[in-house]
Amino acid sequence: MRVYLDYNATTPVAPEVLDAMLPYLRDNFGNAGSVHTPGQRARAGVDAARESVAALIGANAKEIVFTSGGTEADNLAIFGTIAASNKPRKHVITTSIEHHAILHSCEELERQGIDVTAVPVSREAGSQGIADAEEIRRAIRPETVLITVMHANNELGVIQPIEEIAKIAREAGVIFHSDAVQSAGKVPLDVERLGVDLLSISAHKFCGPKGIGALYVRADTPLRSRAFGGHAERDRRPGTENVPGIIGIGKAAELARKLLAEDSQRLGAFRDKLESALLEKIPNAFVNGDPARRVPNTTNVSFPGAGGEAMLIALDLQGIACSTGAACSSGSTEPSHVLLAAGLSADDARSSLRFSLGRPTTAQEVNYAIATIPEVVARIRALSPRELNSAAAARVH
């Protein structure tokens, strides 16, 4: 039996999405920038998709900029904001658990001489992985141009206090961006309620195609294009529009809106069942991240004494696909920066697995995972009992 529990890495394209895209790969292949009839058919499809994406996040269609995905949307938000600022000195605030699309962009800013403050997150049970909005307030300087804080973390699933941070940013006159790649399609999103100026999403995280995403840009938010060559996307992102991809994200957004409540309730119940069973069946296992403030499909569990990479391979041989962290970091032998920031030791971080469920997940798959994972963990622990005893003793003391 094959069980896929890595939906935070990517999701399958929904059949309805594929059906919506196919005509724009075959018959309606016109360039949306052309004035003739084929071009205008493509333009009509793009306009309808823009409306659909806007509706998913409570925005106006004119505020949606299509990109190649979440990473480009994050880069455009960060570098576009910096480029548009007329402050002689610039400073950016982020957190220590951001996706590498943010952290690596901030590292590039530092190479350019721009100061970056990475605010830590809580290491305490009951709030683990959550940033303190007051810490962000204290980090603001006169030269602060941008605050960028993710909505839901890709490894822990924890949801940050975005509304509170947005209010602080607004009071300080600082632009606020949120990477919502892992929350779009999982929890309700309303940019007006959240109070963000910029927000990134990616289609392949909610049953859309890869290679297409969007950046919400609140009206009148200063943002300068980082690419040049044309006037597409209101001069924010030049180049021939990926019409089939845009149709795909539009349909995926429509489905996400329609199925969000149902998906959330069902996947939350499955996640809780899986999580409870693993904690009950596997000694010393523990869940990472705030247990309440998180997206409903994600759990991150540590199994001290069992190496994450070994578990990953053993589970794959048993037909279960999961993750040791962010998909973009696969192949890395370093412990997750997210788990380290949340207070885990390097050993516990290396013994952690992320299980993320999706719309296609079934009760049968969850039951198979519950039956299989404890056996795999026990087998791997038996190969290194000394490490298990040392890890247990370290947490006691």
Environment class of 265 (CB within 10 Å of its CB; exposed 0-12, middle 13-18, buried 19+): exposed
360 in Cβ contact with 265 (< 8 Å) = no
Where in the sequence numbering do the catalytic residues fall? Answer: 328
The letter for the amino acid at 17 is V
What distance in Å separates the CA atoms of residue 22 and residue 34, rounded to the nearest whole number?
Answer: 20
For residue 177, give both structure tokens. Answer: 């961006």
7's tokens: 């939906």
Radius of gyration, alpha carbons of the chain: 22
Which of 197, 124, 150 has its CA nearest to residue 294? 150
DSSP state of 143: T
Contact 206, 73 (CB under 8 A): no
CA distance 384 to 13: 40
CB 365 within 8 A of CB 269: no
**Beta-sheet pairing, 198-202 with 175-179:** parallel
Strand order in the sheet with 286-288: 286-288, 298-302, 352-356
The DSSP code sequence of 238-290 is -S---HHHHHHHHHHHHHHHHHHHHHHHHHHHHHHHHHHHHHHHSTT-EEES-
Positive or negative, the CA dihedral 163, 69, 262, 370 is: negative
Grouping H, G, I as helix, E, B as strand and the rest as coil, residue 301 is strand
- Nearest alpha-carbon partner for 11 in 276, 243, 321: 321
Find out whether 79 and 277 touch, Cβ atoms under 8 Å. no
CA-to-CA distance for 388 and 397, rounded, in angstroms? 15
- Of 268, 294, 287, nearest to 366 by C-alpha is 268
